Structure 1
């Protein structure tokens, strides 16, 4: 018998001894289920008064006294008539017996230990002499509905720990204490990694952000536990709650927090359009908390970041300054201050912009970036929004240099905006022919026949080892068909493997038209071909 097989009967027997100790004090106690579990055992009780942790010591003491008496566990059987008569005053055992009868059981098994007679399938130890009296511990109390049904009575569930020795018990307790120290919820707060809030138990819903008043027609609603909730329509309020998780000093600013968050918008069915208009999408939001005298430098750095990202993608753009809309929050003074700050930043940076009156966010003015695609269409993507209103509404504070409490300024920014929409724009901008560094599949390997499969697989592993996105087409299609499929997929580089390539340890390369002057057509040594691809990726060309 292995250790687990020995522990099961020990733990189950300890549950019986615990019931004996409790029933000596509460003779009319109702007994629910009491199985052995992974770390010990538990037993459900219907008692005339609550058991507390203060009772653990006398229960353990009495159980150890019973172990010392070398009590035997004797199995017996009974028919249903006698069993029901014996338990006629116990509604829990009566219900279990009737359920077993309904399932077609013919007889019932019992275990006797001293005076204790209990309906039980076992198994148990032969005698309490098999139990180490220092190897168990009464652990905790919880509530449990009879049969797990909340319509039934709530019973008291008493848990115990049990192992083969005191050393194993001590080891378990030590490991559990360590696990509690490492609880990610505690560490998340201690290390300032994340936080949870009453405003969003399990998912986000915020009133004070203003989204309810100004955006509820575009939100999804549900009800849980008789409370109304909405699925998160924007990431912004979460940024505020993260800020409020800790106290802040002027010395910390600027504080920058990024979130690639999933949001949901209730769009009408007729307005849905591929990736351009969806109901669920990701936004690459960042929220920057800063002082008044840091506004211009922070906005300037965001503009530089957006310019760098769009430059990599060869996207040209123009800027629009959008001002206060008809539906908004915040005073006239706050709006005037925010709009002036954005204008001054653009003017001081020497950037031309168009004024777009009345198209700002409801909480603040914004700078919108409109990119132009390869066929002349423009798309509003990146945005920088200056917000004095939400910090006021959420009562955000920091300790100023003079010790007073002040409100920070908040900047909202996205680079791509809705990521799904931006990908849709890029697909159409490149007509699916992504630059090699951005292409989902950078190299496609084609075999002429089954004989080249092993060599082609080796090449695939080499490409992946160099973080090159590659695929192997080892289908039974003709080479011409495979080449045509790769062209339809707009793969930048196609490597063909035949018998000649296997023998020479080379590849035969075909380049997409726009890479004809960067990728060598024809035979090439593997290492040179890989270096060629790596350089194009590194250069982002």
Structure 2
């Protein structure tokens, strides 16, 4: 079983001073890489000659429409967008990262072929950022090939950066001591301004170029639908890629390599199902808070498990069906253990059972990837006629939960992959139902063609944490295969036996992962309804300690998480400050006046003094705010 690590670079924009370069020991390129480079150069030379011949044969003037209505002349198969950018402004030529030609993303050095509408993309646009980051991923891929002998998988851009998957062997992982060397190779590639060269190759040529890379061979079979596809060369790197890219790596002025985490991905025909990944990690301090104060990450034989600290356990509502811990096959067995009728459908089963996953060494990372975790796993058995309503219900439930938690989310519809099981007719029907449900749902969504599970299409849900890193948590998946393999049947209205459709549904996904994302988003300042530290009662002096305990007991009897800080060794102001640093949502301070009038003096964790309140009224107000699940109880109190 092989390991493929996904690495990500934090890049600075052009104009920043590049990092100083040091010598990094780069191994001699392997024979397969030398052979691939040689074949690429042959094909590139042939393409250059072909383009030169076309330019000479079709030496004709074409009309180019620029933004603002300006029209200029160009020569077909010869003039490039970069040349036109220089005609307009050298500043534009320096800042442009790519072009858009008749709505198609275009390399700046790719010759124009016909009359065109032309616009230029800079880093300020989403499309320009994607080009910049995608080109940066190629730099990382080239460095990984040279320095680590990696077999490259995928290296896309994301909404806020990029990453690269690569394969290092069954037990091989990148050591921390190797990171500086890998980073220096990346810096050297950027500094030498290697051009990105676009090559169109036939399917046979693609197979020959990547004959030593099983990941690329699978992508060729699955993704290349036409007779040709594009390959980009950059220095020693040759990679299957649709582009476009920067003109050269010198446009990446400075970069920094960050640490990695692992991720599981499926390549059905490649016997390496474990691939490993990184995410961009910025020091926010939030992780340290929830790691030290909220959870214990177990060492040694329990590595990869997280335990909530007993003193202040994290609070998370579990308003769901309470069932025994089960997994997908177990729920199918529960359905099949007695005859079923159409009157019982839809049948909805859910659990929060603990699951174990044998992650490879080094794969675990904080709360986002563990060996032991809980999943809000649910399965809905329904008829085809009920499918649309059930999907809408799942989407509404998902939106309700995420809005309460304060998350925005993005949806993607993943459709039939090449290795699907079942009847195409059922797949088409299911995909149409999912698409219709998404359109009626009213939230933005995007199509992810060919990325469905082998057993059915799915809707994936991606959250963003405080650092704007995406996390795939929720999912809604249709499954035609488990009902077939478990021979699940129910008696229909006509008395005939029919087969149900199975919906896999998770909203939180991994409970631990969602808590990790929540902790980052809150920065330790949990909203009142989730907070493990809702109220601390602080007596001004020893004389008020008895009344303070009574206040605490009143809060606890109401179901509020409350503590008492009557430490005689600290002054009142230091105890108030300690409560604020511990992120108690509220501090109830009681002195002689409050004791006599049975009131409390209310402060917030942000040191706002809300004044004196009757104890019963204050307790009732806290319960109202908690039940309303507002994110800003301190402001609304």
**Partner-residue secondary structure (3-state), 2:595:** helix
Structure-2 change in CA distance of 1:531 and 1:401 (3 Å): closer
1:163 counterpart residue number: none
**Partner-residue secondary structure (3-state), 1:521:** strand
1:483 counterpart residue number: 576
Task: Let me know the Cα RMSD of the aligned residues.
Answer: 2.8
**Partner-residue secondary structure (3-state), 2:395:** helix
State whether residues 379 and 504 of structure 2, in contact with CA within 8 Å, keep that contact through their aligned partners in structure 1.
yes
Structure-2 change in CA distance of 1:396 and 1:474 (3 Å): same
Q: Which runs of no fewer than 5 residues in structure 2 stay unpaired? A: 1-268, 275-323, 631-637
2:135 counterpart residue number: none
Structure-2 change in CA distance of 1:214 and 1:382 (3 Å): farther
CA distance in 1, matches of 2:614, 2:270: 62
CA distance in 2, matches of 1:450, 1:214: 70
Tell me which moved more, 441-450 or 253-262. 441-450
CA distance in 1, matches of 2:484, 2:431: 17
Note the C-alpha offset of 1:503: 3.1
CA distance in 1, matches of 2:611, 2:585: 15
Note the C-alpha offset of 1:460: 1.0
1:418 counterpart residue number: 510
State whether residues 436 and 492 of structure 1, in contact with CA within 8 Å, keep that contact through their aligned partners in structure 2.
yes
State whether residues 334 and 389 of structure 1, in contact with CA within 8 Å, keep that contact through their aligned partners in structure 2.
no
Aligned length: 313
Query: How is 1:123-134 mapped onto 2 (pairs within 5 angstroms)?
Result: none
State whether residues 322 and 366 of structure 1, in contact with CA within 8 Å, keep that contact through their aligned partners in structure 2.
yes
Note the C-alpha offset of 1:233: 12
Q: Tell me if 1:527 matches 2:616.
A: yes
1:440-470 Cα offsets, whole Å, 9 max, x none, are 1211112233332211111111111211121
1:396 counterpart residue number: 488
Equivalent residue in structure 2 for 1:262, among 318, 333, 354: 354
Structure-2 change in CA distance of 1:215 and 1:388 (3 Å): farther
Note the C-alpha offset of 1:329: 4.3
Structure-2 change in CA distance of 1:540 and 1:528 (3 Å): same
1:95-154 Cα offsets, whole Å, 9 max, x none, are xxxxxxxxxxxxxxxxxxxxxxxxxxxxxxxxxxxxxxxxxxxxxxxxxxxxxxxxxxxx
Query: How is 1:194-233 mapped onto 2 (pairs within 5 angstroms)?
Result: none
CA distance in 1, matches of 2:432, 2:391: 13
Note the C-alpha offset of 1:336: 3.4
CA distance in 1, matches of 2:325, 2:491: 31
Equivalent residue in structure 1 for 2:522, among 414, 430, 433: 430
Q: Tell me if 1:465 matches 2:557.
A: yes
Query: How is 1:105-124 mapped onto 2 (pairs within 5 angstroms)?
Result: none
1:25-65 Cα offsets, whole Å, 9 max, x none, are xxxxxxxxxxxxxxxxxxxxxxxxxxxxxxxxxxxxxxxxx
1:538 counterpart residue number: 627
Structure-2 change in CA distance of 1:328 and 1:215 (3 Å): farther
State whether residues 338 and 388 of structure 1, in contact with CA within 8 Å, keep that contact through their aligned partners in structure 2.
no
Query: How is 1:164-243 mapped onto 2 (pairs within 5 angstroms)?
Result: 235-243=327-335
State whether residues 588 and 600 of structure 2, in contact with CA within 8 Å, keep that contact through their aligned partners in structure 1.
yes
State whether residues 325 and 353 of structure 2, in contact with CA within 8 Å, keep that contact through their aligned partners in structure 1.
no
Structure-2 change in CA distance of 1:243 and 1:233 (3 Å): closer
Equivalent residue in structure 2 for 1:507, among 594, 600, 607: 600
CA distance in 1, matches of 2:420, 2:564: 55
Note the C-alpha offset of 1:439: 1.0
Q: Tell me if 1:445 matches 2:537.
A: yes
1:387 counterpart residue number: 479
Note the C-alpha offset of 1:374: 4.0
Query: How is 1:243-392 mapped onto 2 (pairs within 5 angstroms)?
Result: 243-325=335-417, 329-392=421-484
Structure-2 change in CA distance of 1:324 and 1:267 (3 Å): farther
Structure-2 change in CA distance of 1:322 and 1:504 (3 Å): same
State whether residues 375 and 509 of structure 2, in contact with CA within 8 Å, keep that contact through their aligned partners in structure 1.
yes
CA distance in 2, matches of 1:486, 1:249: 58
State whether residues 325 and 352 of structure 2, in contact with CA within 8 Å, keep that contact through their aligned partners in structure 1.
no
1:64-111 Cα offsets, whole Å, 9 max, x none, are xxxxxxxxxxxxxxxxxxxxxxxxxxxxxxxxxxxxxxxxxxxxxxxx
1:166 counterpart residue number: none
State whether residues 286 and 414 of structure 1, in contact with CA within 8 Å, keep that contact through their aligned partners in structure 2.
yes
1:180 counterpart residue number: none
Note the C-alpha offset of 1:385: 0.6
Structure-2 change in CA distance of 1:360 and 1:215 (3 Å): farther
CA distance in 2, matches of 1:385, 1:318: 16
CA distance in 2, matches of 1:492, 1:363: 47
Q: Tell me if 1:497 matches 2:590.
A: yes
1:474 counterpart residue number: 566
Structure with larger RCO (C-alpha < 8 A, sep 6+): 2
Note the C-alpha offset of 1:344: 2.6
State whether residues 217 and 266 of structure 1, in contact with CA within 8 Å, keep that contact through their aligned partners in structure 2.
no
CA distance in 1, matches of 2:549, 2:466: 37
Note the C-alpha offset of 1:373: 3.3
Note the C-alpha offset of 1:367: 0.6
Structure-2 change in CA distance of 1:464 and 1:296 (3 Å): same
CA distance in 1, matches of 2:414, 2:605: 42
**Partner-residue secondary structure (3-state), 1:321:** strand
**Partner-residue secondary structure (3-state), 1:257:** strand
State whether residues 416 and 422 of structure 1, in contact with CA within 8 Å, keep that contact through their aligned partners in structure 2.
yes
CA distance in 2, matches of 1:266, 1:331: 33
**Partner-residue secondary structure (3-state), 2:504:** strand
CA distance in 2, matches of 1:235, 1:538: 32
